[in-house]
Amino acid sequence: MKISFLIHTIYGIGGTIRTTLNLAEELADRHEVEIVSVFRHRDIPLFDIDPRVTVVPLVDTRPSSPTNEKEHPLLLQPAEYFPRNEARYKEYGKLTDERVRAHYATAGSDADVVIGTRPGLSAYVAQFAPTGAVLIGQEHMTHHHHKTALRKEMYAHLDALDAYVTVSEGDARVWRERMPLPATRVLAIPNSVPEPPVAPSDVSGKTVVAAGRLSPEKQYHVLIDAFAKVVKAHPDWDLRIYGWGTERDKLLARIEELGLYNSVRLMGPHSPIEPEWAKGAIAASTSRHESFGMTLVEAMRCGLPVVSTDCDYGPREILADGEDGILVPVGDADAVATALLTLIDDEELRRKMGAAALRNARRFHPARVAEQYEELFGELRTAAAQRAEAGGYAPVADCVVEPDGAVTVTLAGPRRDGLHLACVRTDDRTDDHRFPFDAEGRATVPADAVFHEGIWEGSVELPGSGRRVRITTRSIDQRGAMRARERVTGGVRTLIPYPSKPKKQLLLRSWVRPVHAEAADVQVSRGEITVSGELIGAAPAPDAPTLIVRRRGRGSVDLTYPGTWLGDGRFRFTFPAAGPAAHQTAANQWWDLLVRYAPGAEPVRLARVLDDIVDKGPVFGYPATRLRKKRPYALLRIAARRLRGLPQQYVRVRPAYADTNDLLVNVADVPVK
């Protein structure tokens, strides 16, 4: 079997590099293994690499290399296939797109298994790996570590993988709960740590050892504060912290401030680190977050008991509290000090825990971890074959909005048995609906189906595997949506199918509002804006309705204006454009429009949703009214206004629709010519 790891760079230092090498070298006993390093930024890797493992660098960024490609025109162009919200997006470009695709497209890259080692590389695997290969993404951080935008962007890529492997069961559980992937197996396999090349510690020394990046999330200041309490009781003990990072100067300042310069040492990076662990009697970790905790396992494999914060997720799955280490609350220096003193004061307990740590850490040996991966590879071969079959299936469909509001999706081309229309909400992947296709290839979303407000993706779910394939639309008949107002009983609930751009994949836009203010005519004239509309889902109060014009962003401001009821729930508001213009605090600002229809009632947004136009922003163009700018919105403007000869400045006020079809008002500076 040929196994290919795709990594950002194999030439540096770090947990992902170390654990990739551990696994690759163990697998190389029985398989052909390659490590594809997207970048090569130095001549020789910092870690030794087993000669049985083939290293394939793709882009040369070595400063002194005659083939340095850091200024390659294609590398300077934005990547098209690497997720835009990935932390390393700016380092990637069209050149990396092309090199990764070319590597896996060549005859020599006939990998049976391809493993991406970070989100963006998992996306590359999903898009470029050979057809029929087992596709695996590794999560070396955590679900919570990634921004919502990245998780949204990654969904389609993760959905195309055969498995997504986290390093802790706690994180795998969160992924399964927050982002269901019906056809992708989400599971946990821990990182591996080989047997150290040195004899284990006898824990008889007087040194506490910690290791890792000197970065904020490691919270070494907590460990230093805790050690100040240790030194008061045991001035003959010392603390050594190994690693490099941005917090070094701050930590040195803290050490000096506490007078610990004779007891605490910042040792810098060391590789291999095992001889340094073996010098210690106790290991310590005070991280705020740990996806796994490689240093904990390394220390345990060297026979050290560990004092660690009980952070998400790794430590509690690595340590047996009270058996081979002690777990303490995150950020609690007193608790860290108490745990350290417990082990310092009781050498017998320290020896007992050190022996247990040495014994328990054997489960992280590369051979055991590699066995779990090999079992996974075998289990996923069938899934890979099904995915390859699905990859040749590209469903095309016609959609119709029926007069009663139901949506019918009819597949074009040959019929297949057991297919379902699957709809999932893009901002909450746990919100999921399935509707069977009948013998004619037709699936119907009933008019009373509960689709929460938002954007939904339409796919065909294949039988057996549960794999989903996005639907490409051929034609969409939205005429039934034009009758949405006729169907209103109570609040608003409407569902409109439409094609994505530019791929024309099926999307559905849902609006659900128990009480709704439907916008109608909008007039702009003589510095005033007049909006009329209709209240739906609530009875208007006898009092006049109130329009709230609310500034978005920090320092929100509400401007209120009285309106008029016109009968049958219809209303009209007129307000001066000078109102929001006078409260402008930036060159370009947006204001929401809300209707309070009764005293004490929660205001509802003005929006236009009861028709067939999904995105009204580009379609409904309203004129702007231009006002003379009476006062600047920043101190720089105040200073500039005192200078003579500057032209008069103006502000433009214009109604417009947001992508949610809520009606807004935009206040923006008019460029001075």
> What string of H, E and C letters represents the secondary structure of 66-79?
CCCCCCCCCCCCEC
pLDDT at 644: 52
User: Both tokens of residue 56?
Assistant: 């394939």
Per-residue pLDDT of 429-472, as tens digits, reads: 889 999 999 999 999 999 999 999 999 999 999 888 788 889 99
CB 420 within 8 A of CB 460: yes
CA-based torsion, 15, 20, 25, 27: positive or negative: positive
Q: Is the pLDDT of residue 110 over 70?
A: yes
664 Cβ partners below 8 Å, 6+ apart? Answer: 590, 591, 592, 593, 655, 656, 657, 658
- The CA distance from 307 to 325, in Å, is 6
DSSP-assigned states of every residue in 569-597: TEEEEEEETHHHHHT--SSEEEEEEEEE-
For residue 16, the SS3 value is helix
Q: Is the pLDDT of residue 353 over 60?
A: yes
User: Both tokens of residue 413?
Assistant: 């081309």
Looking at the structure, give the CATH architecture of the domain made up of residues 393-513: Sandwich (2.60)
Q: Is the pLDDT of residue 404 over 50?
A: yes
CB 242 within 8 A of CB 218: no
Per-residue pLDDT of 540-589, as tens digits, reads: 989 999 999 999 988 889 999 999 999 999 999 999 999 999 999 999 99
Q: Is the pLDDT of residue 59 over 70?
A: yes
pLDDT at 573: 98
pLDDT at 635: 45
- CB-facing half-sphere around the CA of 369: CA atoms within 13 A: 27
Per-residue pLDDT of 261-314, as tens digits, reads: 999 999 999 888 999 999 999 999 999 999 999 999 999 999 999 999 999 889
pLDDT at 631: 52
Average predicted confidence (pLDDT) for the chain? 93
CB 665 within 8 A of CB 588: no
Q: Is 430 exposed, middle or buried (0-12, 13-18, 19+ CB in 10 A)?
A: exposed
- The CA distance from 521 to 607, in Å, is 11
CATH class of residue range 2-188:
alpha beta
pLDDT at 131: 84
- The CA distance from 194 to 588, in Å, is 57
pLDDT at 29: 94
Q: Is the pLDDT of residue 505 over 80?
A: yes
Place of tokens 């009819």: 410
Residue 107's pLDDT band (cuts 50, 70, 90) = low
- The CA distance from 96 to 81, in Å, is 9
Q: Is the pLDDT of residue 511 over 50?
A: yes
Q: What does the pLDDT average to over 495-517?
A: 95
CB 380 within 8 A of CB 163: yes
CB 577 within 8 A of CB 529: yes
- Decide if 2-188 and 207-363 have a common fold: yes
User: Where do the H-state alpha helices sit in 392-531?
Assistant: none
Give me the residue spans of the domains in the chain. 2-188, 207-363, 393-513, 516-670
Supply the pTM of this predicted model.
0.76
**Biggest CA pair distance of the chain:** 88
User: Where do the H-state alpha helices sit in 346-365?
Assistant: 347-360
Q: Quick one: what percent of the chain has pLDDT higher than 90?
A: 85
Q: Is the pLDDT of residue 206 over 80?
A: yes
Of 180-184, 216-220, 509-513, give the lowest mean pLDDT range: 180-184
- The CA distance from 181 to 466, in Å, is 9
Q: Which of 521, 533, 529, 438 is nearest to 485 (CA)?
A: 533
Name the fold adopted by 207-363.
Rossmann fold (3.40.50)
Tell me whether strands 528-536 and 570-576 are parallel, antiparallel or unpaired: antiparallel
Place of tokens 């109060």: 541
For residue 429, the SS3 value is strand
Residue 595's pLDDT band (cuts 50, 70, 90) = very high
User: Where do the H-state alpha helices sit in 239-327?
Assistant: 248-257, 274-278, 294-301, 314-318
Per-residue pLDDT of 473-493, as tens digits, reads: 999 999 999 999 999 988 999
User: Where do the H-state alpha helices sit in 234-291?
Assistant: 248-257, 274-278
